[in-house]
């Protein structure tokens, strides 16, 4: 019997065996058929878009999927080309990737690491996907990243904010364009110090899981460096829906800032509850009480409604940015779908393009060649200014946005306003920074 | 000294004194009936014998050993079997399987796994069970679902299951309740036959005087939780206190 | 054969044949056809079929036989997979010690939880098991993160000790689980014309273990022990008044089915070395309940069918998207095509939960005995034509 | 001290939600003997009644505003609700503002309707079926209901604020002459608590003092006997199901300002409410209410920093831990009846 690590449906899908005799069974061998997992041999190449389609992040997943569809359209030369026109690298021609038409399969991560891996595996084993991308939480990103490393395909992370993704759980085959907890802290702290002063007492409510831990640590250390004092931190269960019993003790403490290290439904509820308890109208130590949400997304802001007004947070990207790349993306996304894209859509779109470009520049779909092409790659025109894909940890370094809930939104999408674009230097850290300690990239795996 | 000695038993449920001062002695190898109007405490008393209830006061001794505080399965292992008012059998199992379970219990005691020995290899148990079924005239029904039988057959099966354990004391809780006349008579005949064939003590709670007078050798009349009289059937028949108790209730 | 009667031997052989030929049976459609979307013969899904089959078989030993409805069985699966992954991290990538430890740990855990929970019966028992499982999940996701990996799950790292065997592969990567050198992810492929069949080592390892597990479950069903368990479900009171203490029997059944769950967890980790806390969430426990009822609780083959059905829905239906629908209906006139797509669209892809819910309802409404009853009805229909009314109704086998 | 008073308030507030849901579950279980896994979905549908009404009230037509631009640089289309056209902007705003309380009127008939249809069309056929079948079919129904809601409303939470009059907090401290700003509690949560108390009181009064209620209570105790009396208990049970659905729905409507509703909020509450029902004791209405408040208060205390520091992770497991302890010390929960759901 012959050996192959994963199957290569792509081989047959693309019709290479069309003429093979029906009578004679052909046994493929991995070594002779291809040099790496799922090598595309036909006229098309398959990408796997693995996004949450059920569960609480389904809407975010739907937006990611829209972005991917748009990216595929642009890669195949359709539509107005979007960011292909503003991207600093001009390797992509609008004729697919290396002349092969881009096709895609979709799957449902359910925001569970098991389900996400099952779905990714089926894309790799059944559909012959050469790259997996997407996701809306760090648990899923880390799990799928490890899987892709094992299987020998590239993983382009979607929305994942935990330090671990490019910290202790980094993998050679995985790449993250999205920013991370550390960057949020580093970008937010000066703005907060500026707006609220350096003599503040902060109280943290933190989601009791990995992402929460890294975010709390990042925000704490950067605000404490500005002179803030942390007077309390409480971990809240993931499954919590009513945060009143966590908010009420804040009233008793002498804290004058509440930091909500929550995401998704947790954040919507904890913020809503905090505002209900009148924290926004409070005066403590002669100062206005303030609330901070380190990681913002438009969908969450929408869920929290009027409660976000005036509340600071950070975000990877926002559609109101006025650089050429952002404008081009908003234009083509808005034209196609009728509303502006979310930051999740943006990072997914960019990741798809970056992968295609890397293949084009490497001249090969071989994951190791792609890794090489992406490592240390510098580019511009994708919405966040000049950006570097750092070789040491496969993290993108770019400008980070500090935003604030808008007081008078003009539409249901116009909820956040940009307060400051924090320059990349301010959010850059050393690869061996303690918040990212442990773990190793390993070497790229091409499978097969 | 009887095989079952009940001394001074009392039981209270909230405000209701269900049993008070019950003294009773069931002699070995007799059929002893406990009768009384509804609510006299007959079933409560029976439940005290089998460990389902623990009396507040008094003692229940079986063959010189106290049964109080023991769980039902331990009391059963002492040699007391119970037949319920509505036949309690394993409805989802076949008749043969129903009969096999007490046979296993008899052989293996309270707990044995036998997880990997197939049913087919349990020849001795099956033979025993078949034998009891034949005794009970139920051999032709052995592969039926127990739940799908008539009430009379269920009763017959239940009694058979109890007998297969060779108990020393058989407790019957209104064994003919809700039965048609023919089934009742069959049950009476069955019990008589059992009594003839074996050395066994039977304590029977019954409402139906026909059944009681056909079987019992001694009768205890219970009223309002306390024994009224205890005597032979002949003497009970015309006893004024008994009439009072029954008439009082029916009026 | 093997101490089974003829019917059971036939059943076992049929299942063995189905499992052995699964790579063919699950890939009935040629690679390039539109229907290839429905092919399920790829390693990961085939592995999941048999692993969840084991889980459901084990659950059925408890629920199907004793009637005790545990709502926390996923905890044992989760504990089993954590144990297995720790074995991969500390000892070696051989799956044998991992699986053995998974079964043992799950068994001990089940003994503990079962000992406490079985003090109650009925819904009180269900809620106790649910409470234990939810506690396990909540703690594993949060405070136990150092042991369980928390949100991201417990995974292998390059610097794990792995004292026996290699720590890092020559290529600088983490080694993969194997059985004395046979890597679980290795596959051989067979192309027959436009068809492609995959034979995966991991799948066959799981399949063999499942057959053993299935065989043991038949033996348990047919043994005096199994009969006692059925007697507990049927009438616990009578059993007690027959001199039998039901608690040791139920506890033994609980532990056995917990060990089955641990075995499934260990295998899951062996096929894919990651253990996530969501495996223990109540929905995961609910899933195995649904698998068992859907297939037919108390029947031998039902749980396997139910497991297959739900996993198929989850993995195949959820992957169909609008583009694929348009491919299917391209031959229709444009208007009709769009209409068809918009009718079908809510039920596939992100709507797969809806389809699943509808199937639950339809099965339980029309086939109270689960899928097995559906099969029996079809069989009876054909048999009925031949042998008109030879036997009538009373032949429902208690456990088939 | 202040902290403890606040946590008791929190506990009562959480407890009201638990108690309301558990009450409906117990009504259904006690009267019909049906384990209804779709009860959480009814709660969720109630919440979406409020969402729907506020959508209806804000139904708009577009007016193009040439002076402002949208994100693509086209003239901005401003949505003008029809209520502005009909009642003027001021009255219109008030109506929209009061959408949630108005939804109560909107939700009652809808929820009763859904309840009756559910009972007649589906649940009725499952009275005699095993509990496992009931669980499967109602769980299937719950999935279907929540997927339908997701199809129309998306997965994201939808903010549904309380009327402006109820925004802000009541200062207990100041009211009794203590330091201000220490013991404050949001108005709407107080409203929710009062509302729950009224609903619970009304249900109890209804069962206690009406003939209908007496028959139903008798039916809960012994169904067959009541049937023998020639009373059409089935019809009354249908009404009870409608009532239970309405209670769940109202609990959902009033909950929307506390937390933005989303399609899976029912499932989030489902497991918890079952724990509450069982801890209270199957089939006992007072037990369900008592357990709801008890677990609510304990959960609140367990989330205090001092407690978590003492026992890490206690806030994650407190409800389940309490459930285990109660079930092990009291075999049938707090007030359960013997023989109910013990097989």
The total number of structural domains in chain A stands at 2
**A438 found inside a domain:** no
Does C48 sit within 8 Å of A440, measured CB to CB?
Answer: no
**pLDDT at res. A157:** 95
Joined together, the tokens standing for residue D303 give 């989330």
Give the number of beta-carbon pairs within 8 Å between A and D: 132
Sign of CA dihedral A354, A358, A360, A361: positive
Tell me the pLDDT band of D215, cut-offs 50, 70 and 90: confident
Element (H, E) at C256: helix C246-271
**A408 found inside a domain:** no
What CATH number does the domain containing A291 carry?
3.40.50.2300
Nearest-5° angle of CA D7, CA D13, CA D18?
120
pLDDT at A20 over 50: no
Does C315 sit within 8 Å of A138, measured CB to CB?
Answer: no
- Separation CA A267–CA A262 (nearest Å): 5
Our CA dihedral for D25, D29, D32, D34, rounded to 10 degrees, sits at: 100
CA distance B167 to chain C (A): 10
Residue D69's CB: how many other CB atoms inside 10 A?
Answer: 12
Does D327 sit within 8 Å of C124, measured CB to CB?
Answer: yes
- Separation CA D69–CA D77 (nearest Å): 8
pLDDT at D256 over 80: yes
**A439 found inside a domain:** no
DSSP B154-174: HHHHHHHHHHHT--SEEEEES
**pLDDT at res. C396:** 38
What is the rounded average pLDDT of the residues A184-200?
Answer: 93
Q: Name residue, tokens 């019809």.
A: D235
Does A1 sit within 8 Å of C272, measured CB to CB?
Answer: no
**A173 found inside a domain:** yes
Q: At what angle do helices D2-32 and D233-255 cross, to 10 degrees?
A: 150
pLDDT at A101 over 90: yes
What is the rounded average pLDDT of the residues C357-375?
Answer: 88
pLDDT at A7 over 50: no
The answer to whether C359 contacts chain D (CB < 8 Å) is yes
pLDDT at A425 over 90: yes
**pLDDT at res. A103:** 92
All structural domains of chain D with their residue ranges = 2-52+103-329
**pLDDT at res. B207:** 78
Tell me the pLDDT band of A389, cut-offs 50, 70 and 90: very high
Range C342-360 burial, b when 16+ CB lie within 10 A, else e: eebbebbbbbbbbbbbbbb
Out of D72, D150, D168, closest to residue A335 by CB: D72
Does C249 sit within 8 Å of B111, measured CB to CB?
Answer: yes
The answer to whether D327 contacts chain C (CB < 8 Å) is yes
pLDDT at B119 over 60: no
Q: Report the range of poorest mean pLDDT among A317-326, B13-22, D37-46.
A: B13-22
Share of chain D above pLDDT 70, in %: 94
The end-to-end CA distance of chain C, in Å, is 18
Q: Are A186 and A305 within one domain?
A: yes
Report if pTM > 0.80.
yes
Tell me the pLDDT band of A265, cut-offs 50, 70 and 90: confident
Enumerate the residues of chain C whose CB falls inside 8 A of the CB of residue D278. Answer: 123-124, 127
Does A138 sit within 8 Å of C152, measured CB to CB?
Answer: yes
Nearest-5° angle of CA C60, CA C61, CA C64?
55
DSSP A29-65: -HHHH-SSTT---SSEEEEEEEE--SSTTHHHHHHHH
pLDDT at B248 over 60: no
Phi, psi of A396 (to 5 degrees): -80, 135
pLDDT at C252 over 90: yes
For residue range A394-409, list pLDDT tens digits in order: 999 999 999 999 988 8
Q: Are A85 and A141 within one domain?
A: yes
SS3 B64: coil
Question: Burial level of A344, CB count in 10 A (0-12/13-18/19+)?
Answer: buried
What is the rounded average pLDDT of the residues B104-115?
Answer: 70
- Name the nearest CA neighbour of A114 among C191, C284, D285: C284
Enumerate the residues of chain A whose CB falls inside 8 A of the CB of residue D189. Answer: 244, 276
What is the rounded average pLDDT of the residues C108-114?
Answer: 96
Q: Name residue, tokens 């007998």.
A: B163
Q: Name residue, tokens 């009255």.
A: D91
Using CA coordinates, name the residue in chain D closest to C354: D144
Joined together, the tokens standing for residue A386 give 């000049």
For residue range B66-102, list pLDDT tens digits in order: 888 888 888 888 889 988 888 889 988 999 999 988 8
The answer to whether C231 contacts chain D (CB < 8 Å) is no
Assess contact for A399 and A424: CB atoms under 8 A: yes
**A356 found inside a domain:** yes
Enumerate the residues of chain A whose CB falls inside 8 A of the CB of residue D93. Answer: none
pLDDT at A24 over 90: no
- Categorise residue A315: left if φ over 0, alpha if ψ from -120 to 50, beta otherwise: beta
For residue range D265-287, list pLDDT tens digits in order: 888 888 888 889 889 988 888 99
- Separation CA A183–CA A191 (nearest Å): 13
Enumerate the residues of chain D whose CB falls inside 8 A of the CB of residue A232. Answer: 305
For residue range B193-227, list pLDDT tens digits in order: 888 888 889 999 887 888 888 888 899 888 888 88
**pLDDT at res. B190:** 86
**pLDDT at res. D5:** 86
Does C228 sit within 8 Å of B92, measured CB to CB?
Answer: no
The answer to whether C235 contacts chain B (CB < 8 Å) is yes
The CATH T-level fold of domain B1-79+167-251 is Rossmann fold (3.40.50)
- Name the nearest CA neighbour of D15 among D257, D275, D196: D196
Instruction: Count the residues in chain B.
Output: 251
Assess contact for A442 and A149: CB atoms under 8 A: yes
Q: Are A127 and A274 within one domain?
A: no
- Separation CA A234–CA A204 (nearest Å): 6
Q: Which residues of B touch C (CB under 8 A)?
A: 50, 71-73, 76-77, 81-82, 84, 88-94, 97, 100-102, 104-106, 109-122, 125, 144-145, 148, 158, 161, 165
Assess contact for B2 and B51: CB atoms under 8 A: no
Higher pLDDT, D231 or B190: B190
Nearest-5° angle of CA C194, CA A97, CA A144?
75
Q: Name residue, tokens 């003997």.
A: D33
The answer to whether C289 contacts chain D (CB < 8 Å) is yes
Using CA coordinates, name the residue in chain A closest to D158: A303
Phi, psi of B56 (to 5 degrees): -75, -35
C-contacting residues of A 121-150, CB under 8 Å?
Answer: 121-123, 125-126, 137-139, 142-143, 146-147, 149-150
Assess contact for D306 and D252: CB atoms under 8 A: no
All structural domains of chain B with their residue ranges = 1-79+167-251, 90-166
**pLDDT at res. C133:** 94
CA distance D170 to chain C (A): 34
Enumerate the residues of chain C whose CB falls inside 8 A of the CB of residue D324. Answer: 116, 128, 131-132
Q: Which chains touch C (3 or more CB pairs under 8 A)?
A: A, B, D
**A2 found inside a domain:** no
Phi, psi of A234 (to 5 degrees): -130, 135
For residue range C276-299, list pLDDT tens digits in order: 888 999 889 989 998 998 898 888
Q: Are A64 and A97 within one domain?
A: yes
CA distance D201 to chain A (A): 24
Which ranges of C68-192 would DSSP assign to H, the alpha helix?
74-90, 95-117, 122-141, 145-148
CATH number of the D2-52+103-329 domain: 1.10.3470
**pLDDT at res. A448:** 65
**A73 found inside a domain:** yes
Residue C366's CB: how many other CB atoms inside 10 A?
Answer: 10
Q: Are A335 and A209 within one domain?
A: no
Assess contact for A124 and C287: CB atoms under 8 A: no
Q: Are A292 and A195 within one domain?
A: yes
Query: Which domain covers residue A275, as residue numbers?
Result: 182-315+416-427
- Separation CA C150–CA C147 (nearest Å): 8
**A329 found inside a domain:** yes
Tell me the pLDDT band of A47, cut-offs 50, 70 and 90: very high
For residue range D130-143, list pLDDT tens digits in order: 887 888 899 899 99
Does D10 sit within 8 Å of A232, measured CB to CB?
Answer: no
Assess contact for A117 and C274: CB atoms under 8 A: yes
Q: Do chains B and C touch (3 or more CB pairs under 8 A)?
A: yes
Q: Are A170 and A51 within one domain?
A: yes
**pLDDT at res. B114:** 64
Q: At what angle do helices D211-221 and D187-209 cross, to 10 degrees?
A: 80
Assess contact for C67 and C246: CB atoms under 8 A: no
In Å, what is the CA distance from C77 to each residue of C52, C62, C105, C285?
10, 15, 10, 9
Highest mean pLDDT among A295-299, A441-445, B21-25, C86-90: C86-90
């Amino acid at each position: 019997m012959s050996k192959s690590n994963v199957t290569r449906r792509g081989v047959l899908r693309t019709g290479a065996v069309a003429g093979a005799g029906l009578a004679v069974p052909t046994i493929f061998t991995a070594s002779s058929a291809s040099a790496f997992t799922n090598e595309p041999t036909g006229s098309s190449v398959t990408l796997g878009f693995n996004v949450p389609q059920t569960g609480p992040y389904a809407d975010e997943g739907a937006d990611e999927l829209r972005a991917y569809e748009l990216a595929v359209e642009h890669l195949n030369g359709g539509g107005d080309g979007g960011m292909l026109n503003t991207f600093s690298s001009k390797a992509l021609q609008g004729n697919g990737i290396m002349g092969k038409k881009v096709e895609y399969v979709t799957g449902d991560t359910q925001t569970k690491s098991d389900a996400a891996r099952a779905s990714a595996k089926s894309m790799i084993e059944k559909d012959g996907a050469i790259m997996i991308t997407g996701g809306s939480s760090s648990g899923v990103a880390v799990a799928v990243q490890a899987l892709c490393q094992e299987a020998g395909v590239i993983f382009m992370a979607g929305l994942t904010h935990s330090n671990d993704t490019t910290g202790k759980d980094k993998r050679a085959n995985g790449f993250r364009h999205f920013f991370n907890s550390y960057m949020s802290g580093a970008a937010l702290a000066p703005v907060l110090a500026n707006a609220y002063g350096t003599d503040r007492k902060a109280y943290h409510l933190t989601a009791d899981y990995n992402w929460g831990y890294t975010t709390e640590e990042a925000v704490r250390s950067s605000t404490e460096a500005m002179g803030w004092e942390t007077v309390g931190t409480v971990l809240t269960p993931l499954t919590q829906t009513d945060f009143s019993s966590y908010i009420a003790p804040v009233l008793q403490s002498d804290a004058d800032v509440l930091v909500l290290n929550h995401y998704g439904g947790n954040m919507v509820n904890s913020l809503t509850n905090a505002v209900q308890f009148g924290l926004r109208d409070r005066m403590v130590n002669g100062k206005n009480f303030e609330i901070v949400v380190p990681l913002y997304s438009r969908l969450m802001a929408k869920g929290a409604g009027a409660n976000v007004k005036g509340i600071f947070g950070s975000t990877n990207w926002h559609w109101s940015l006025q650089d050429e790349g952002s404008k081009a993306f908003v234009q083509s996304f808005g034209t196609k779908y009728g509303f502006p894209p979310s930051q999740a859509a943006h990072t997914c779109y960019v990741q798809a393009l970056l992968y295609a470009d890397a293949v084009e520049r490497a001249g090969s779909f071989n994951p190791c060649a792609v890794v090489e092409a992406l490592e240390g790659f510098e580019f511009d025109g994708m919405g966040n200014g000049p950006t570097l894909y750092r070789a040491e940890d496969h993290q993108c370094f770019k400008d980070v946005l500090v935003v604030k809930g808008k007081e008078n939104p003009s539409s249901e999408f116009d909820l956040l306003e940009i307060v400051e674009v924090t320059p990349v230097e301010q959010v850059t850290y050393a690869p061996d920074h303690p918040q990212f300690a442990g773990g190793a990239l390993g070497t790229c795996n091409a499978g097969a | 000294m009887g095989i079952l000695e009940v001394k001074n038993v009392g039981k209270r449920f909230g405000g209701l004194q269900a049993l008070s001062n019950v003294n009773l002695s069931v002699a070995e190898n007799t059929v002893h009936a406990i009768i009384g109007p509804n609510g006299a405490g007959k079933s409560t008393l029976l439940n005290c014998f089998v460990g389902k209830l623990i009396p507040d006061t008094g003692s229940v001794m079986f063959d010189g050993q106290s049964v109080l505080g023991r769980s039902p399965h331990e009391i059963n292992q002492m040699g007391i079997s119970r037949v319920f008012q509505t036949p309690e059998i394993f409805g989802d199992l076949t008749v043969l399987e129903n009969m096999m379970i007490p046979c296993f219990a008899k052989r293996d005691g309270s707990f044995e796994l036998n997880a990997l020995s197939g049913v087919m290899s349990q020849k001795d148990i099956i033979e025993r069970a078949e034998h009891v079924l034949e005794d009970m005239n139920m051999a032709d029904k052995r592969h039926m679902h127990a739940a799908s039988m008539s009430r009379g057959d269920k009763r017959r099966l239940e009694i058979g299951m109890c007998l297969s354990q060779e108990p020393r004391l058989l407790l019957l809780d209104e064994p003919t309740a809700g039965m048609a006349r023919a089934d009742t008579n069959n049950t009476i005949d069955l019990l008589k036959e059992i009594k003839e064939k074996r050395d066994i003590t039977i304590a029977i709670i019954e409402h139906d005087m026909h059944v009681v007078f056909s079987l019992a050798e001694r009768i205890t009349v219970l009223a309002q939780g306390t024994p009224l009289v205890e005597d032979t059937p002949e003497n009970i028949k015309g006893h004024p206190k008994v009439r009072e108790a029954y008439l009082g209730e029916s009026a | 054969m093997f101490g089974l009667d003829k019917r059971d031997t036939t059943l076992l052989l049929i299942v063995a044949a189905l499992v052995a030929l699964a790579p063919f049976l699950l890939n009935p459609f040629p690679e390039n056809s539109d229907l290839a979307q429905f092919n399920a013969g790829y390693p990961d899904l085939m592995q999941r079929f048999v692993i969840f089959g084991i889980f459901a078989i084990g659950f059925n030993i408890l629920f199907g036989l004793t009637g005790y409805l545990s709502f926390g069985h996923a905890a044992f699966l989760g504990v089993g997979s954590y144990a297995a992954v720790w074995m991969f991290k500390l000892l070696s990538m051989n799956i044998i010690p991992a699986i053995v430890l998974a079964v043992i740990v799950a068994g001990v855990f089940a003994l503990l939880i079962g000992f406490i929970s079985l003090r109650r019966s009925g819904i009180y028992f269900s809620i106790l098991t649910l409470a234990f499982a939810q506690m396990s999940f909540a703690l594993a996701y949060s405070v136990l993160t150092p042991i369980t990996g928390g949100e991201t799950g417990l995974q292998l790292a390059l610097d794990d000790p792995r004292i026996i065997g290699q720590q890092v592969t020559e290529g600088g990567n983490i080694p993969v689980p194997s059985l004395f050198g046979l890597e679980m992810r290795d596959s051989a492929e067979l192309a027959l014309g436009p068809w492609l069949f995959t034979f995966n080592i991991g799948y066959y390892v799981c399949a063999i273990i499942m057959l053993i597990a299935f065989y043991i479950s038949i033996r348990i069903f047919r043994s005096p022990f199994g009969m006692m368990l059925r007697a507990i479900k049927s009438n616990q009171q009578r059993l007690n008044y027959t001199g039998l203490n039901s608690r040791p029997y139920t506890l033994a059944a609980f532990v056995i089915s917990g060990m089955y769950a641990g075995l499934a967890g260990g295998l899951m980790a062996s096929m894919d070395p990651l253990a996530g806390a969501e495996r223990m969430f109540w929905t995961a426990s609910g899933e195995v309940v649904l698998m068992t009822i859907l297939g037919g609780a108390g029947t031998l083959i039902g749980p396997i069918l139910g497991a297959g059905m739900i996993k198929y829905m989850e993995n195949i239906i959820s992957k169909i998207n609008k583009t694929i629908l348009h491919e299917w209906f391209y031959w229709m006139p444009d208007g009709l095509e769009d209409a068809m797509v918009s009718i079908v669209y809510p039920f596939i892809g992100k709507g797969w939960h809806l389809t699943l819910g509808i199937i639950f309802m339809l099965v339980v409404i029309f086939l109270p005995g689960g899928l097995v009853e559906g099969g029996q009805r079809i069989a009876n229909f054909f048999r009925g034509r031949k042998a008109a009314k030879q036997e009538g109704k009373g032949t429902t086998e208690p456990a088939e | 001290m202040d902290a403890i008073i606040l946590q008791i308030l929190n506990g009562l507030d959480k407890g009201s939600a638990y108690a309301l849901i558990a009450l409906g579950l117990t009504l259904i279980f006690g009267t019909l003997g049906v384990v209804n896994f779709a009860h959480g979905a009814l709660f969720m549908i109630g919440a979406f009644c409020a969402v729907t009404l506020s959508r209806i009230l804000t139904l708009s037509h577009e007016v193009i505003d040439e002076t402002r631009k949208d994100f693509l640089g086209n003239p901005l289309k401003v949505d003008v609700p029809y209520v502005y056209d009909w009642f003027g902007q001021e009255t219109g705003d008030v109506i929209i503002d009061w959408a949630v309380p108005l939804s109560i009127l909107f939700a009652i008939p809808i929820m009763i309707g859904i309840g009756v249809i559910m009972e007649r069309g589906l649940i009725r056929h499952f009275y005699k079926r095993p509990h496992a079948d009931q669980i499967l079919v109602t769980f299937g129904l719950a999935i279907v209901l929540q997927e339908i809601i997701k199809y129309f409303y998306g997965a994201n939470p939808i903010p549904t604020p309380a009327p402006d009059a109820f925004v802000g907090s009541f200062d207990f401290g100041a009211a009794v002459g203590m330091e201000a700003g220490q013991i404050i509690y949001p108005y709407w949560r107080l409203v929710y608590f009062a509302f729950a108390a009224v609903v619970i009181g009304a249900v109890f009064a209804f069962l206690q003092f009406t003939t209908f209620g007496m028959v139903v209570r008798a039916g809960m105790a012994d169904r067959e006997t009541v049937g023998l009396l020639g009373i059409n208990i089935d019809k009354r049970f249908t009404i009870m199901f409608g009532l239970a659905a309405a209670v769940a729905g109202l609990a959902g409507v009033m909950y929307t300002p506390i937390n933005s509703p989303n399609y899976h909020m029912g499932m989030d509450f489902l497991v918890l409410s079952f724990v509450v029902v069982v801890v209270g004791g199957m089939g006992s209405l007072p037990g369900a209410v008592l357990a709801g408040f008890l677990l609510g208060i304990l959960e609140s205390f367990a989330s205090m920093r001092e407690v978590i520091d003492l026992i890490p992770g206690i806030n994650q497991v407190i409800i389940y831990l309490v459930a285990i302890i109660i079930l092990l010390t009291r075999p049938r929960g707090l007030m359960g009846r013997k023989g109910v759901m013990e097989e």
